[in-house]
Structure 1
C-alpha cells in the first residue's frame, strides 16, 4: 500500500482488510450519491441515535482516506466499508441501498440486535469481508446464498441462531480463507470444501454429525468443539469405520471364491500359531512358579534375622533418583493437554472436545469458550492463533513459567495444548464479567454502575497484579502487554483478575503490533521500541478510563499506533467540570482522593518516559489513595501533569 493510511475498525478481525488496495470508481450509482445511499440504509434501522453524525450536508468521505461519518471507512474518497459494531442496532438491513455503494468491500455489523433471516448478501458481489457475528439471525440459509460471491475472503456468522444445513455454495467461494459458523444450530454433515487452501474454519458448538471432510482434517480439534455427532480426524475415528472395512472385506471375499479358498490356509496357520504361543506362555508361567517356590523354601531354612537387622533394613532410604536436568526435560506429548496446576482434576483433550460449550468471544486473534468438564467445574478455553513466533520447546518453557504464577489478582493458568498452527490455554471461569462490561454496559436501578470504592478497589488490585508480574517475569520488557479494561475480569466480590498477560513473547511480531496495547504507547509511536514503562503507560490509561468512564476506543483500535492518546489525555485534563464519571454516585466526600488517583493516572501515562513513574512508584502512590478524603478539599490545579 506504500503510504496509504486508513482509519481501522475496532475489531481485530475486520482490520485485516484495511490495507487492501482498491480501484477508484465513481461514488454515484443509478443517480443516487453515496451519502443518499447510506442515509437510505440508516432509515431502515432502529436505534438510529447510535449513529448521530451522518449529516447529509457533509460528504461521508473526503479526498483520500478521511471519513467524516461514524463507522464509515473510506478509500480514495469512496465508501469502502461499514463498521457499525456494538451499537444496539436492529431493524432491516437495506441491501438495495448498500448495493448502490460501488466500492463497498467490508460490511461489519457484529454485536448488534439484528434478527430474522440472513440478508441477501449475494446482491453485494464485491464484498470481501462479511462480519455478522453476535446478532440474532435465525432460520435456514438457502443453499445458493453465497453463489457468485467470488470476492469474499472472510465470512463471520458466529453466535447467531442459524439452523438447517451449512450451505453448499460456501464450498465454491474461491477466495474464502476464514469461515466462522460456531455458536449456531447447524445440523447434518459438514460439506466437502473445495477451496485449495482454507486455513481457518470454525463450526464449534452446533448440531453437526458424521465424518469430518478430508479437506478440513488438518484443522485444530477445537474447531469442532461441541458437536457430539462429529467424528473422524482430527477427532476420534467414526464408530462404523471398522465394521465398514470388515463388511467390505467380506463382500470382496464372497464375490471372489478363489480368493476365499486361497486365504483359508493362511487363517489356519494363524490359529495354529496362536495356540502354540498360548502354550508357550503357560509353560513359562509354570517355570516361574516352580523357581519361586524353590527360593522360598531355601529362604525359610536360613537363620532368623536379628531385630537390629530388621530396623536397619527398614530404615534404609531408597536410592535417590537422578536429578532431572532442565536441559533434558520430558518432552510434552503432542496432542495432549498439559496441566500446570495440581489442584484441578485432570481431563484429556477428548473430554474437552465433547463437553458442553458456550462461545464467549470470537475474534481473529483468539476465541473463548465456556466449558463444563465435570459437574460444577467451569473452565474457559482460549483458542489462540498468530502464535507461531517460537518453536515447540520455547513455547512449553514460557507457558510453564506462566503456569507457576500465583497471585490473587492474576488469573492462574490451568492447562495448555500445543499445536503448531493454534494453541489452547485453559483457565478457571470467572462469572462476573470483565471491567469494560461493568463500565459501559446498560445500568439500571437494580444493576447500577460501579461506585468510587469499588473502582478504587479494582485499580489497586490491577496495580498489585501488574507489580507481581513485573517481579516474577523480570526478563520480559513488557510483562503484560495487553492491559485494557476488557482484559480485567471481576470475581463476585469485584476483586480484579488480570488475564491475557505475558503473551507478547509468543505472538507473531506483525500481529503483536496490531493487537497489543503496549504498542500504542508513545515510545513505540515515536521511537519504534517498547520499554519497562510501557505497561505502566497502559495502567495510566486504564486509571483514566475507570475514573472518567471514557473509553479511548479510537486510539486503542487494531492497527492504530496510539499517538493521538496524548490528545485524549489532554482533553480529559482540561475537562475540569465533567472529568469524573457521573455514575460514581455517593463520592462527594472523596473528591480529593479521586483527584489524587487521577493525578497518578496522568503520571503513569506521561508521554516522556523519563517523567513517567515506574511500576514500583505507581503501586506505592495508588496504595496511599483512600476511599474518603483525608482532608476537606484539594484544589484541582494539583492534578496538573505538565504534559505540554
Structure 2
C-alpha cells in the first residue's frame, strides 16, 4: 500500500478520528428525543434531573437508561415516579435500538399510546397504571419482535387483540386485572415458545382455546372470569353455547382435513428422507458436529470438527477402550499418533461418556470467549454438557496436563463448576463440563431479556453475590500456591443453575497457558497492577470479584470487560467518584432500589466492592477478609 501518499494519510486520519467522534455525536443525538420525551410528561414522585441536554445518555449517569455496550440506548426503565400526561411515542421512535420500555407503577392514563410504531421493541411493561379503553384488533401486527407484554392492572376493555396471539416470538402475556371481554383469540401454532399467559380477573367468556389449554409447559392463569370454561379451570363448557356449523361448513372442514392429512404425509416422507441422508452422512464422516443456536440475537449454523492426527483408521484395541479414556488395565488413553484418542474422564458424577458420544450429539453454538469457542452438546442419554475448544493451552505436556485436569476434576463445592472430562491434542484441547440452564450472569444481566427479567430480584442477586464469594474463597484456599487461584473471574464465567445458584468456571488455568497467551486471555491481566507494573497476584482476583459485585448492584455492563475499554460503563471510576461524593444510592440499579428495606445492605456491599477495586493492591482486602465482610453484611 502506498502509505507515503498524503491523500491516503489524510483519508486514513479522517476515518480514525471519525471512529472516535461519531459515537459521541450519536449519543448526543439520542439525548434530544429523550429530553423531549421527558418534557411531555409530568413527574410527581421524583425527578429525571440526570437527563441533561448535550450529555451522553450512555455515560451511566442517566437514571433508568440502559445501553448495549455503551453504543446506543436499548432500554428505558422509568418506574415509580408518578408519571402522568401523554407519552410521546414519536420521540421514542427516534431511538432505533430501543428494545425494552418500562413505564410500570406510574399514574399514566388514557388509551394505549401507539407503541406499535416501535417495531423493534421486545419488552413493553405498563403494569399498574390507569390506561383504559379498547385496543384495536391489529395493534400488534407491526411488532414482530415483541417477547414480553405486561398490561396488567389497568382499565383496558373490549376484546383481546387477535394480532397479539399471532406474534411468533411472544414469551409472556400479562393482561390480568383489566376489563377485557369476549372470547380469547386462538394462539397461532407457529408460536412454540410462549411460557406464561395470565388473563385472570377480567370478564372473558366461552371456552379457553385448545391452542392454549393443551400447550405443555405453559404457565396459565384464567381465574376470576366467571363466564370462562375449559380444562385449565376444571369447568365443563355447556354444549348449548357451542356455535352451530351449517352442512356446507362441515363439508368444507372435511375437505380441509383431507388436505391437511395429505400435506402431513408429504412432510413426513420428506422428513424421513432428510433423516436418512443425515444418518448416512454421519456414518461416513465421524466428526464432532455443532448445529445452530440463537445466541442473543444472532443465528448461525456452524460445523466444528475434531480432526484425526493421522489418516489411519482406529485399531481394534483402540475401539475396545473404555469410555473414560482408559484401557481395560486402567491406563490412560494417551496413544501416540494412533488417531484422535478419546475423552479422558476426570469426574464421573454425571456418568461416563466418550468422544463418539460427543460426535453423535446434537450441539449448539454458545459463542466465543477470550480462551476459545464454547458449544452445548446434548448426548443420547440426555446429559447436556458444554464443550470448550481452547487452542492456546499448550504450556504443559500431556502427562502434566493430565495431572492438572485430574486435580480440577476432584474439586467439590456447591459454587464451583467442576470439569467432567477433557480431550487432549497438542494444538487444541476440549474441556467438557455440565451445562447450566440459566446461561451466564453476563447474559442474565445484559442479554436481550435485560435486567428487568422478573426473577432477577434483590434476593436473587444477593444469593449470586454470596455464592460467588464462597466459591472464590474456596478456590483461594485450594490453590494457595498459585499466583492466580482463578485468574479469569468475570460475569461470563459465572454460570447459573435453574434456581440461580452461581457456579464459577474457567479457574486455575494460568499454569496451562503460555505467558503471552495468558496476558491476552485472562481478565486478571487487565487489573491496574499489571497495566502499571506488569505484576499479578491473588489480589488481582479480589479486583475481579469487586467488578462482579458492583456489576450486580448497578446493573451496568463494565467497560473493563472490553479489550479497548470503549463502550459500557467505567464502573470503577463511576463507583469511586459517587462514593467520594456521598451519592452511593444513585449507583444502585433502579430495578432493585425499590426494595427500600434492603438499601442499607446494598450500600454496604457497594462499599465492600469499592474496597476490592482499589488501584493499589496493598490497599485492597484479601479474599478471606472480603468473604468475612460480605457474610457479616448479609446475615
Instruction: Give the TM-score, by structure 1 length.
Output: 0.49
Looking at CA atoms only, which structure, 1 or 2, has the larger radius of gyration? 1
